[in-house]
Structure 1
Amino acid sequence: MTAWLRTIFLCLALVFSTNAMAEQMNKDTLAGYIMPPFSLGEKLNDNGVWSLLNSGGAEAGYVFETEPLAPLPGFSGAAINVLVLLDLEGRFMDVRLIAHNEPIFVSGLGEAPFHKFFEQYRGLSISSSIVVGTPYGGGSEGSSLVYLDGVTKATASVRIAHESVMAATLAVAREKMQGIATTPPAYPNPDYGEDLTWADLVDQGIAKRKTVTNAEIDAAFAGTLWADDDPVAQDDPDGAYLDLWIVDVGPRSIARAALSPGTFAELQDFLTISTDDEPLLLIEAGRHGLVSDSFVRNTSPNWISAEQDGLPVALRDADLFVELADDVPQGIAMILRTDRRLGFDPARPWQLGVQAVREHGIFQPEAGSVTITVDHTTDERFFIRPGVVKPVPPWLEALRNRQNDVVVLCVFLVGLTALLWARMNWLAGLAGFTPVRLAILAFVLGFVGWWGQGQLSIVTVLGTIRTIYEGGSFAFLIYDPFSLILWAVTIIGFVLWGRGLFCGWLCPFGAMQEFMHHLGTRLRLPQIEPSDRWDLRLKRIKYVVLAGLIATVFIAPDHIDTAAEIEPFKTAITVFFVRDWYYVLYASFWLGLSMVLFKGFCRYLCPLGAFMALGGLLRGRDWIARRAECGSPCQLCKVRCKYGAIEKTGKIAYDECFQCLDCVTIHDDPKQCVPLIVAAKRNERQVAAE
Structure 2
Amino acid sequence: MRALLFWLITICLSVAARADLLSPAQIEPFVKPPLLLGEKFDSSEVYRLVDVYGAEAGYVFETEPLAPLPGFSGAPINLLVQLDRAGNFIDVDLIEQNEPIFVSGLGVAPFKAFLEQYKGLNIASPMVVGTPYGNSGSESSSLVYLDGVTKATASVRIAHESILAATLAVARDKMQGLKIGQPSRPDPEHQEDLDWVALVNLGIASHHVVTNEQVQAAFSETLWADDDPLAKAEPDAHYIDLWIIDIGPRSIAAAVLSPQTLQELGDFLTLSPHDEPLLLIETARHGLVDEDFVRNTAPDLLTAQQGGLPVALRDADLFVELAPELPQGAAMILRADRRLGFDPASEWILSLKVLREHGSFRPVIGSAEFTAQHSTPGRFFITPQSPGNKPAWRAALEHRLPDVLVLLLFLAVLLPILLFRQSWLAGLRLFTPIRLGVLAFVLGFIGWWGQGQLSIVTPLATLHTITTGGSLTFLAYDPFSLVIWLAALLGFFLWGRGLFCGWLCPFGAFQEFAHHLGRRLGLRQWNLPDQWDKRMKWLKHAMLLGLVLVAVLAPDQIDTAVEIEPFKTAITSYFLREWTYTAYAVSLVLIGMISFKSFCRYLCPLGALMAIAGLLRLRNWIPRRPECGSPCQLCRVRCQYGAIRPSGKIDFDECFQCLDCVTIHDTTKLCVPLVLKARGNTRIRSALETSQPRQG
User: TM range, normalised to the smaller chain?
Assistant: 0.7 to 0.9
- Which whole-Å deviations, capped at 9, do the CAs of 1:606-653 have from their partners, x for residues lacking one? 111111111111222222222233222322222211111112222211
Find 1:555's aligned residue among 553, 556, 563.
Answer: 553
Q: Residue 47 of structure 2 corresponds to which residue in structure 1? A: 50
Which residue identity is paired with 1:380? S
Quick one: distance in 1 between partners of 2:293 and 2:254?
23
Matches within 5 A, 1:280-679: 291=294, 324=321, 339-345=337-343, 348-349=348-349, 379-381=374-376, 389=385, 391-679=389-677
Which residue identity is paired with 1:73? P
Find 1:104's aligned residue among 97, 101, 104.
Answer: 101
Deviation at 1:104, TM superposition (A): 1.3
- Which whole-Å deviations, capped at 9, do the CAs of 1:211-240 have from their partners, x for residues lacking one? xxxxxxxxxxxxxxxxxxxxxxxxxxxxxx
Q: Residue 75 of structure 2 corresponds to which residue in structure 1? A: 78
What RMSD, in angstroms, separates the aligned Cα atoms of the two structures? Answer: 4.2
Cα distance change of structure 1 residues 678 and 329 upon mapping to structure 2, 3 Å threshold: closer
Deviation at 1:471, TM superposition (A): 2.2
Quick one: distance in 2 between partners of 1:102 and 1:326?
63
Task: Identify the range of structure 1 (584-593 vs 275-284) with the bigger mean alpha-carbon deviation.
Answer: 275-284
Quick one: distance in 1 between partners of 2:51 and 2:110?
30
Deviation at 1:94, TM superposition (A): 2.9
- Which whole-Å deviations, capped at 9, do the CAs of 1:315-353 have from their partners, x for residues lacking one? 8897x8857569799999998765321224566235799
2:73 counterpart of 1:90: no
Which residue identity is paired with 1:349? I
Which residue identity is paired with 1:461? P
Deviation at 1:427, TM superposition (A): 0.9
Q: Residue 229 of structure 2 corresponds to which residue in structure 1? A: none
Unpaired runs of 5+ residues, structure 1, are 210-243, 293-298, 355-368
Deviation at 1:522, TM superposition (A): 0.9
Task: Identify the range of structure 1 (636-645 vs 117-126) with the bigger mean alpha-carbon deviation.
Answer: 117-126
Find 2:27's aligned residue among 7, 30, 53.
Answer: 30
Aligned length: 639
Deviation at 1:66, TM superposition (A): 1.4
SS of corresponding position for 1:492: helix
Is the contact between residue 177 and residue 310 of structure 2 (CA under 8 Å) also seen in structure 1? no
Cα distance change of structure 1 residues 633 and 120 upon mapping to structure 2, 3 Å threshold: same
Is the contact between residue 101 and residue 561 of structure 1 (CA under 8 Å) also seen in structure 2? yes
Find 1:59's aligned residue among 52, 56, 59.
Answer: 56
Quick one: distance in 1 between partners of 2:56 and 2:342?
20
SS of corresponding position for 1:402: helix
Find 1:121's aligned residue among 108, 118, 122.
Answer: 118
Quick one: distance in 1 between partners of 2:290 and 2:620?
97
Deviation at 1:287, TM superposition (A): 10
Which residue identity is paired with 2:558? I
Which residue identity is paired with 1:485? V
SS of corresponding position for 2:376: helix
Which residue identity is paired with 2:411? L
Deviation at 1:95, TM superposition (A): 2.9
Deviation at 1:280, TM superposition (A): 6.7
- Which whole-Å deviations, capped at 9, do the CAs of 1:221-272 have from their partners, x for residues lacking one? xxxxxxxxxxxxxxxxxxxxxxx99997644466557766345324314423
SS of corresponding position for 2:92: strand
Cα distance change of structure 1 residues 17 and 392 upon mapping to structure 2, 3 Å threshold: closer
Task: Identify the range of structure 1 (92-101 vs 384-393) with the bigger mean alpha-carbon deviation.
Answer: 384-393
Quick one: distance in 2 between partners of 1:322 and 1:649?
98
Is the contact between residue 302 and residue 350 of structure 2 (CA under 8 Å) also seen in structure 1? no
Quick one: distance in 1 between partners of 2:106 and 2:207?
57
2:56 counterpart of 1:40: no
Deviation at 1:436, TM superposition (A): 0.5
Is the contact between residue 47 and residue 69 of structure 1 (CA under 8 Å) also seen in structure 2? no
Quick one: distance in 1 between partners of 2:434 and 2:440?
10
SS of corresponding position for 2:127: strand
Is the contact between residue 90 and residue 120 of structure 2 (CA under 8 Å) also seen in structure 1? yes
Which residue identity is paired with 2:79? V
Cα distance change of structure 1 residues 270 and 410 upon mapping to structure 2, 3 Å threshold: same
Deviation at 1:205, TM superposition (A): 7.0
Quick one: distance in 2 between partners of 1:664 and 1:113?
48
SS of corresponding position for 1:94: strand
Q: TM-score, normalised by structure 1?
A: 0.80
Task: Identify the range of structure 1 (449-458 vs 271-280) with the bigger mean alpha-carbon deviation.
Answer: 271-280
Quick one: distance in 1 between partners of 2:271 and 2:569?
48
Quick one: distance in 2 between partners of 1:22 and 1:182?
30
Quick one: distance in 1 between partners of 2:288 and 2:462?
69
Quick one: distance in 2 between partners of 1:402 and 1:392?
15
Deviation at 1:165, TM superposition (A): 2.0
- Which whole-Å deviations, capped at 9, do the CAs of 1:58-80 have from their partners, x for residues lacking one? 22332221111111111111011
Which residue identity is paired with 2:103? V
Deviation at 1:406, TM superposition (A): 1.8
2:163 counterpart of 1:165: yes
Cα distance change of structure 1 residues 550 and 251 upon mapping to structure 2, 3 Å threshold: same
Deviation at 1:542, TM superposition (A): 0.5
SS of corresponding position for 1:62: strand
- Which whole-Å deviations, capped at 9, do the CAs of 1:298-328 have from their partners, x for residues lacking one? x97999997757988778897x885756979
Deviation at 1:493, TM superposition (A): 1.0
SS of corresponding position for 1:493: helix
Is the contact between residue 299 and residue 314 of structure 2 (CA under 8 Å) also seen in structure 1? no
Is the contact between residue 520 and residue 596 of structure 1 (CA under 8 Å) also seen in structure 2? yes
